[in-house]
Homo-oligomer: A and B are copies of this chain.
Amino acid sequence: MHVSDLDRYRQLRRELHRYPEPAWCEFYTTARIVEVLEERDPDALHVGREVLVSDRRTGVPEETTLDEWADRAREAGADESVLERTEGGHTGCIAVFECGDGPVVGLRVDIDGLPVTESESEDHEPAAEGFRSRNEGYMHACGHDGHMTIGIGVIDAILEGEFDGTLVACFQPSEEKIAGGEPMAESGHLDDVEYLFALHLGLDHPSGEIVSGIDEFLAIRRLQADFEGEPAHAGASPQQGHNAVQAMATAVQNLYAIPRHADGKTRVNAGVVGGGTATNVIPKEAFLEGEVRGSTTALADYMFEKAEHVITNAADMHSCDVSIESTGDAPSATSDEELAAIVGEVARTVDGVDTIRDFDELGGSEDATFLMQHVQDRGGLACYACVGTDHPGGHHSATFDLVEDDLRIGIEVLSGAIEQVGRDGVSPSGV
């Protein structure tokens, strides 16, 4: 890659870094990506409402919040026509490049930022170099600015290279809420994809290391439980209360005590809780935001059903009502060995790569699994690769950052793998 090219990608990454937007509010980001894509003259460019099954979206913010972010995007210079196409929290886009008769290959990157206030320390490069977040309180603290940049870089490499096939480049919104994967997977645009690549930067792997395929994502399901009881004066008539905090606390205790399952890993967490208004009032309301996971989708479902059962009975025990809302989920998935092998093979030839790990567990969850499963269910293959990068702060921390030269590595590994798949498919010899 030319130095001038790398400079261009660095520039793009920094520009995107300046405008982090939370899930379903990536209005500026989508507009900017659409602008860059249009410069590449795609054979098709689907935007916003066209790339999502609208009612499969979960966790979409209130309209006033959406409007605020749209206004910010407008002020930052977002194209009005894109704002129209993404109205109501329909963000993201998919570009299609037809480069020959070979297979249809997908690439998926994610585009949303996080509600994290970015560090102002001089040790933090974005602050020192002047590309710190301009959306105060929000930050690209998980590298999605880098993912998008790699996505554009891969398109450039494919267009300049000798790829024989069709590239479907997906810029997916709302990964942090594990909410964007399903509506995009079901949009129809991935129905013909035969090979799908997804990627992540970092994940505690240092610069120079490539994980050719993530072995196991935990399936995940999130929930929000809202308990409603009866308030009462805690001194004068405690027996008239239906104590929502007591119900919630009983639920918490018993959630963690859901039986372990012999079939594999399970997880449960009551991550955010609260309730009550004053010390002298029997609490009328309480809430619990939690999640369960499993090493298979069935295990996550087992945990979710148990969790619902526990919460429902805890509420009833204390004569409270409870509503339980499912607030996002993602299935488990595994990278196919055949594609991972190709990633590994290509990576070996890329300058700056010194270590290749064949497979690795993530221990976390990702909604790329919806897209992977969609492709795998139709007989295709999928692979989720990790491009190592030294990151000073951890993922989701105020000092997260990445090594910009590793963007090049990501572009070369992914575009190389896509080209090879286009050339040879996944023949036995390819493995």
Contact B235 A364 (CB under 8 A): yes
The answer to the question of A259 belonging to the interface, with a C-beta cut-off of 8 Å to chain B, is yes
B234, B250, B252, B276: the one contacting A267 at CB < 8 Å is B234
Task: Please tell me which stretch of A192-200, A310-318, A344-352 contacts chain B, meaning at least 4 of its Cβ atoms lie within 8 angstroms of it.
Answer: A310-318
Chain A contacts with B in 246-298, Cβ cutoff 8 A: 246, 248-250, 252-254, 256-257, 259-263, 265-283, 286, 289-291, 293
Task: Please tell me which stretch of A16-24, A85-93, A237-245, A375-383 contacts chain B, meaning at least 4 of its Cβ atoms lie within 8 angstroms of it.
Answer: A237-245
* Distance between Cα atoms of A310 and B253 in the complex (Å): 13
Of chain B, the residue at the smallest CB distance from A290 is B279
* Distance between Cα atoms of A262 and B232 in the complex (Å): 11
Chain A contacts with B in 302-338, Cβ cutoff 8 A: 302, 309-310, 313-314, 316-319
Contact A266 B260 (CB under 8 A): yes
Contact A245 B218 (CB under 8 A): no
Contact A281 B273 (CB under 8 A): no
* Distance between Cα atoms of A120 and B265 in the complex (Å): 42
Contact A260 B259 (CB under 8 A): no
The answer to the question of A236 belonging to the interface, with a C-beta cut-off of 8 Å to chain B, is yes
Of chain B, the residue at the smallest CB distance from A274 is B274
Contact B271 A364 (CB under 8 A): no
The answer to the question of A365 belonging to the interface, with a C-beta cut-off of 8 Å to chain B, is yes
Please give the distance in Å from A55's CB to the nearest CB on chain B: 23
The answer to the question of A8 belonging to the interface, with a C-beta cut-off of 8 Å to chain B, is no
Contact B313 A238 (CB under 8 A): no
The answer to the question of A363 belonging to the interface, with a C-beta cut-off of 8 Å to chain B, is yes
Report chain B residues within 8 Å CB of A260. 238-239, 260, 265-268
Chain A contacts with B in 350-381, Cβ cutoff 8 A: 362-365
Please give the distance in Å from A80's CB to the nearest CB on chain B: 34
* Distance between Cα atoms of A234 and B257 in the complex (Å): 14
Of chain B, the residue at the smallest CB distance from A241 is B259
Number of copies: 4
Please give the distance in Å from A397's CB to the nearest CB on chain B: 11
The answer to the question of A233 belonging to the interface, with a C-beta cut-off of 8 Å to chain B, is yes
B236, B257, B276: the one contacting A262 at CB < 8 Å is B236
Of chain B, the residue at the smallest CB distance from A315 is B313
Report chain B residues within 8 Å CB of A83. none
* Distance between Cα atoms of A128 and B111 in the complex (Å): 52
Report chain B residues within 8 Å CB of A277. 271-272
Please give the distance in Å from A141's CB to the nearest CB on chain B: 12
Contact B273 A274 (CB under 8 A): yes
B234, B243, B269, B274: the one contacting A282 at CB < 8 Å is B269
Counting chain B CB atoms within 10 Å of each CB, the highest count among A252, A266, A269, A278 belongs to A269
Please give the distance in Å from A266's CB to the nearest CB on chain B: 6
Report chain B residues within 8 Å CB of A234. 267, 269, 271, 291, 293
The answer to the question of A144 belonging to the interface, with a C-beta cut-off of 8 Å to chain B, is no
Report chain B residues within 8 Å CB of A290. 279
Contact B279 A222 (CB under 8 A): yes
Contact B363 A233 (CB under 8 A): yes
Report chain B residues within 8 Å CB of A265. 260, 262
* Distance between Cα atoms of A218 and B235 in the complex (Å): 8
Please give the distance in Å from A255's CB to the nearest CB on chain B: 8
Contact B270 A291 (CB under 8 A): no
3 closest A-B pairs by beta carbon, nearest first, are A236-B363, A256-B257, A271-B279
Chain A residues in contact with chain B, CB under 8 A? Answer: 218, 220, 222, 233-239, 241, 243, 245-246, 248-250, 252-254, 256-257, 259-263, 265-283, 286, 289-291, 293, 302, 309-310, 313-314, 316-319, 362-365
Known: A269-B282, A280-B291, A313-B313. 12 other contacts (CB 8 A): A234-B267, A235-B365, A243-B256, A246-B252, A246-B270, A248-B249, A249-B250, A249-B252, A254-B318, A256-B256, A279-B290, A310-B317
22 of the cross-chain contacts (CB-CB < 8 Å) are: A233-B363, A233-B364, A234-B291, A236-B262, A236-B364, A237-B262, A238-B261, A239-B302, A245-B273, A248-B273, A250-B253, A257-B257, A260-B265, A260-B267, A270-B276, A270-B283, A272-B283, A273-B286, A274-B275, A279-B290, A309-B317, A309-B319
